[in-house]
Amino acid sequence: MSALATVLAQAKERELHRTPVVAGDDAPLVVYFSSVTRNTDRFVTKLPVRSVRLPLKTTETAPRIDEPYVLAVPSYGRPGGAGSVPPQVVKFLNDPVSRAHLLGVLGAGNTNFGPLFCVAAEKVAAKCQVPLLYKFELMGTDEDVEKVTQGLDKFWQASMQPRA
Ligand SMILES: Cc1cc2nc3c(=O)[nH]c(=O)nc-3n(C[C@H](O)[C@H](O)[C@H](O)COP(=O)(O)O)c2cc1C
């Protein structure tokens, strides 16, 4: 079995049994919001990363993240696209410490929304001036898992290089 096939097989196994991903301390950190429909949660738990899920309710305390991370955010727009960034994510990013450590964004959405596909991720990336790394639909496909695993690995290594 190729290394990639092994990663995908392990991902399927984790999804089936909901076993937590075992990732080393130097693995990328993904912070994400996922509503009760759990699409984004299903996607992120297939990645070989460390992850932190934001609380479902805005009344709960948002975690403070004081190390570099990538944010995965689904869109929840009203008609016309207003208010597409989930308030739980807005609350999290309103903490300057957490915001300062954001390296990039992964967008989750549904292509039924046409030009508003992953609009929340676009907004966060523009506002925080970080790259929008990838967009995926619902819980993503095996191909999305493969591309994000490889892309994130490269991005993470490049981001961790000391600046000259
Ligand atoms: C009320 C509502 C509004 C949505 N608005 C958008 C949108 O503007 N753009 C988009 O790409 N997806 C939109 N979606 C789709 C969600 O982003 C998508 O289902 C996502 O996978 C949800 O992730 P979660 O299950 O992890 O919360 C919307 C879904 C709902 C229920």
- Here the CATH number for the domain that contains residue 49 is 3.40.50.360
Q: Which structural domain, as residue segments, surrounds residue 139?
A: 27-160
Total domains in the chain come to: 1
Give the tens place of pLDDT for each residue, 77-116: 987 667 899 999 999 999 999 999 999 999 999 999 999 9
Question: Quick check: pTM over 0.75?
Answer: yes
- The closest of 147, 123, 13, 22 to 74, measured between CA atoms, is 123
- Residue 111 CB less than 6 A away from ligand 1: no
Task: Please report whether residue 149 resides in a domain.
Answer: yes
Least confident of 13-27, 81-95, 137-151: 13-27
pLDDT tens-digit map of 53-69: 999 999 999 999 999 99
Q: Which atom of ligand 1 is nearest to the CA of 33?
A: 26
Residue 15 lies in a domain: no
Residue 108 in contact with ligand 1 by CB distance below 6 A: yes
* Beta carbons of 47 and 144 less than 8 angstroms apart: no
Residue nearest to atom 16 of ligand 1 (CA): 109
